[in-house]
């Protein structure tokens, strides 16, 4: 494959017919008098959920429903996450608050979707304790949102009152990949594109494989067609999404690797920046590092979850790499892509973790010198193997966690300080939240940059001179526009 393949998109017949059916229902809902006209959508969790929410919003906008604050909405949707327990508790808390909102406005419709809904105990709890919920759908049938909305509205109507019976539609596995339903993207100049769904890795702490199912790759033609269409509307930056992008292509009729897909994406005219997440170290190939080094459009940014630096824990986590193999990958990456910024995910307090295990994690952190990290205290998830392993003392875990944050902050600060007085290229995204005379955006390395520039620069790639640095962002001023 030479990266120039550009066939027409090929949709599975079943998926194609289903998309047609849903599009027809969207048309019907436009004139349905019971269709709520004001919606609020809360998105919890990761980039996958964020992308799913763009699809939900796209459908709602097409129906003619408008996004409003939660207390003004007649349709409230929570797109939930279940990776950690506190995310779930927050949803139950918010549902409690919705009870009184529904008492005030009996026409309010409540919809729940996302990963948490794939857990049996959650559905049972909602059934018993939160009868105000109108509709629950899962991760595999999100594209059926239009037809489920229609059933929800019909069930209220049949009873001749504003209340309705709870509709629950949860599938245990994916039936078809449905492409091409509407979606609303947050920014007109950058977009996320799913390249695969699900995960087959079964890390022992993680619930994702149980709620997002087996790994399924989209056909490269369909991904490229989507990106070409985005480029034509002015999108410059693409983020490719998958739980484990390095195993992209497995199971497709025509074999293709992630590195080959990246080359194809870089050939799309109009696309100037390409990012991807998440990479699993066990599947990371030399070919991928070479492509990163060669293709100038691929941003020098790598998110490489470590989870733990201890070989014993990595084994217990079922991660299939050792500290040495991980560090080896990092060394190769840094050698071939010298300006690369590396970020990671780390879990503290995994079952049986000792101080020695934790010190191994700190050792890797100090050696890699991460530019950023998502850090988590281990949270037992029902049904995962780690939940039944011997748990650690929570106080010990908290202490280690604070120490980790301190070390990461120190290293992040030092890394960022190296940008002082340099020039970085930033895609200006929006007005800065704290200072209206500034814009905020991301450098090629993915660093957050706030800089003085006129509003007209939003959506453009800007050269920014860095005047100040902190462990979390850079501050600077516009020098010039890159595209000009
Ligand atoms: N407890 C804590 N962190 C977890 N993650 C996944 N499952 C758990 C859990 N049970 C973290 C991992 C993963 C990130 C998305 O969430 O670090 O990479
Ligand atoms: Fe969870 Fe591991 Fe899959 Fe990531 S690779 S989604 S941590 S099982």
- Chain segment 222-243, per-residue pLDDT in tens: 999 999 999 999 999 999 999 9
For residue 157, is pLDDT > 90?
no
Q: Give yes or no: residues 128 and 248 share one domain.
A: no
Q: What is the mean pLDDT of residues 140-145?
A: 93
Among 118, 210, 243, 283, which residue has the most ligand 2 atoms within 8 Å of its CB, making it the best to mutate? Answer: 243
**Boundaries of domain holding 348:** 183-417
pLDDT for res 6: 38
- Are 250 and 283 in contact by the 8 Å Cβ rule? The answer is no
Residue 154 shares a structural domain with residue 273:
no
Distance CA 308, CA 428 (A): 35
Q: How far apart (Å, rounded) are the C-alpha atoms in residues 301 and 325? A: 19
For ligand 1, whether the C-beta of 83 sits within 6 Å is yes
Mark whether 221 and 242 lie in a shared domain.
Answer: yes
Residue 10: pLDDT band by 50, 70, 90 thresholds?
A: low
Q: Which two tokens stand for residue 136?
A: 């629950």
Split at pLDDT 50, 70, 90, the class of 484 is: low
The domain boundary residue, chosen from 169, 204, 228: 169
Mean per-residue pLDDT, 347-356: 98
pTM over 0.85: yes
Q: What would the mean pLDDT of 97-115 be, rounded to a whole number?
A: 93
Domain membership flag for residue 175: no
- Residue where one domain finishes, among candidates 417, 440, 460: 417
Compute the Cα dihedral for 283, 288, 293, 298 and give only its sign: negative
Q: Are residues 189 and 161 in the same domain?
A: no
Residue 457 has pLDDT above 60, yes or no: yes
| Model confidence at 159: pLDDT above 60 | no
395 shares its domain with 302: yes
pLDDT greater than 60 at residue 161: no
From the CB of 385, is ligand 1 less than 6 Å away?
no
Q: Return the ligand 1 atom nearest residue 83 CA.
A: 7
Percentage of the chain exceeding pLDDT 90: 84
The pLDDT tens digits for 28-58 are 999 999 999 999 999 999 999 999 999 999 9
Q: Which residue's alpha carbon is nearest to atom 12 within ligand 1?
A: 345
Domain end point (choices 391, 417, 443): 417
Segment 248-269 shows an average pLDDT of: 95
Residue 163 scores a pLDDT above 50: no
SS3 category, 72: helix
> Does any domain span residue 177?
no
On whether both 238 and 353 belong to a single domain, the answer is yes
User: Is residue 41 located within the same domain as residue 105?
Assistant: yes
Report CA-CA distances (Å) from 274 to 80, 186, 197, 400, 481. 27, 17, 19, 35, 19
Range list of H helices, 273-393: 286-294, 311-316, 323-336, 355-368
For position 13, what pLDDT does the model report? 64
Give the number of domains in the chain.
3
Task: In whole angstroms, give the CA distance from residue 439 to residue 421.
Answer: 18
Ligand in nearest proximity to the CA of 384: 1
Is the CB–ligand 1 distance for residue 206 below 6 Å?
yes
Q: What is the model's pLDDT at position 155?
A: 81
312 and 430 both lie in a single domain: no
Q: Is residue 462 part of a domain?
A: yes
Here the CATH number for the domain that contains residue 119 is 3.40.50.12160
- Ligand 1 contact via 298 beta carbon (within 6 Å): no
In percent, how much of the chain has pLDDT > 70?
94
Is 18 within a domain? yes
pLDDT, position 2: 36
Q: Which atom of ligand 2 is nearest to the CA of 209?
A: 8
Cα of 62 to ligand 1 centre, how many Å? 35
Structural domain contains residue 192: yes
CATH number at residue 394: 3.80.30.20
Would you give the end-to-end CA distance of the chain in angstroms? 34
pLDDT at 466: 98
Say how many C-beta atoms besides its own lie within 10 A of residue 325's C-beta: 15
Does 436 reside within a domain? Answer: yes
Annotate 188-227 with DSSP letters as a single string.
Answer: SSEEEEE-EE------TT--HHHHH-S-EEPPHHHHHHHH
In this structure, are 253 and 291 located in the same domain?
A: yes
Residue 412 has pLDDT above 60, yes or no: yes
Q: 225, exposed or middle or buried, with CB in 10 Å at 0-12, 13-18, 19+?
A: buried
Residue from 207, 209, 344 whose mutation best tests the ligand 2 pocket (most atoms within 8 A of CB):
209
Closest-CA residue, ligand 2 atom 1, reads: 206
The answer, yes or no, to whether any atom of ligand 1 lies below 6 A from the CB of 319, is: no
pLDDT above 80 (res 350): yes
SS3 state of residue 157 = helix
The pLDDT of residue 436 is above 60: yes
Does residue 176 lie within any of the structural domains?
no
Does the beta carbon of 386 sit less than 6 angstroms from any atom of ligand 1? no
Q: How many CB atoms lie within 10 A of CB 349?
A: 20
429: domain CATH number is 2.40.50.140
Q: Is 317 helix (H, G, I), strand (E, B) or coil?
A: coil
Same domain, 247 and 347: yes
Residues 139 and 254 in one domain: no
- Considering 11-20, 409-418, 430-439, the range whose residues carry the highest mean pLDDT is 409-418
Task: Return all residues near 460 (Cβ < 8 A) that are at least 6 apart.
Answer: 427, 428, 481, 482, 483
Based on the fold, state whether residues 323 and 393 are members of the same structural domain.
yes
> Does residue 44 lie in a domain region?
yes
Specify the residue with its C-alpha closest to ligand 2, atom 2. Answer: 203
Is the pLDDT score of 212 beyond 50? yes
Name residue 461's beta-bridge partners.
427
């Amino acid at each position: 494959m030479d990266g120039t393949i550009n066939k027409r998109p090929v949709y599975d017949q079943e998926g194609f017919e289903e998309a047609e059916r849903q599009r027809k229902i969207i048309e019907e809902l436009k004139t349905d008098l019971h269709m709520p006209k004001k919606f609020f959508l809360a998105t919890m969790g990761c980039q996958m959920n964020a992308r799913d929410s763009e699809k939900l919003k796209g459908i709602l906008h097409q129906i003619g429903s408008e996004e409003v604050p939660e207390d003004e909405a007649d349709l409230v949707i929570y797109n939930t996450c279940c990776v950690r327990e506190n995310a779930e508790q927050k949803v139950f808390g918010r549902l409690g608050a919705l009870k009184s909102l529904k008492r005030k406005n009996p026409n309010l419709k409540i919809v729940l979707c996302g990963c948490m809904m794939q857990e049996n105990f959650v559905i049972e709890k909602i059934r018993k304790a939160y009868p105000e919920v109108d509709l629950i759908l899962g991760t595999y049938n999100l594209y059926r949102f239009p037809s489920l909305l229609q059933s929800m509205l019909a069930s209220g109507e049949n009873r001749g009152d504003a209340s309705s019976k709870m509709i629950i539609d949860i599938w245990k596995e994916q039936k078809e990949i449905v492409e091409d339903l509407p979606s609303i993207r947050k920014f007109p100049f950058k977009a996320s594109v799913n390249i695969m769904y699900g995960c087959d890795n079964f890390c022992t702490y993680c619930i994702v494989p149980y709620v997002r199912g087996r790994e399924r790759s989209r056909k490269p033609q369909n991904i490229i067609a989507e990106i070409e269409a985005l480029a034509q509307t002015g999108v410059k930056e693409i983020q490719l999404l998958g739980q484990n992008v390095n195993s992209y292509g497995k199971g497709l009729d025509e074999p293709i690797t992630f590195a080959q897909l990246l080359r194809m994406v870089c050939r799309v005219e109009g696309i100037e920046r390409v990012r991807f997440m998440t990479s699993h170290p066990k599947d990371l190939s030399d070919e991928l590092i070479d492509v990163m080094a060669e293709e100038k459009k691929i941003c020098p940014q790598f998110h490489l979850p470590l989870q733990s630096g201890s070989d014993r824990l990595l084994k217990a986590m079922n991660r299939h790499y050792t500290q040495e193999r991980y560090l080896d990958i990092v060394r190769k990456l840094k050698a071939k892509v010298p300006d690369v910024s590396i970020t990671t995910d780390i879990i503290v307090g995994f079952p049986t973790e000792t101080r020695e295990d934790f010190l191994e994690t700190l050792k890797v952190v100090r050696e890699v010198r991460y530019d950023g990290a998502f850090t988590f205290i281990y949270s037992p998830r029902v049904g995962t193997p780690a939940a039944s392993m011997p748990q650690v003392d929570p106080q010990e875990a908290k202490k280690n966690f604070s120490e980790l944050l301190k070390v990461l902050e120190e290293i992040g600060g030092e890394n960022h300080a190296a940008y002082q007085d340099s020039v970085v290229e930033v895609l200006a995204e929006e007005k800065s939240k704290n200072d209206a005379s500034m814009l905020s955006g991301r450098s090629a390395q993915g660093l957050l940059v706030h800089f003085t520039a006129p509003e007209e620069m939003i959506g453009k790639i800007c050269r920014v001179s860095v005047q100040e640095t902190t462990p979390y962002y850079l501050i600077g001023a516009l020098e010039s526009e890159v595209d000009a």
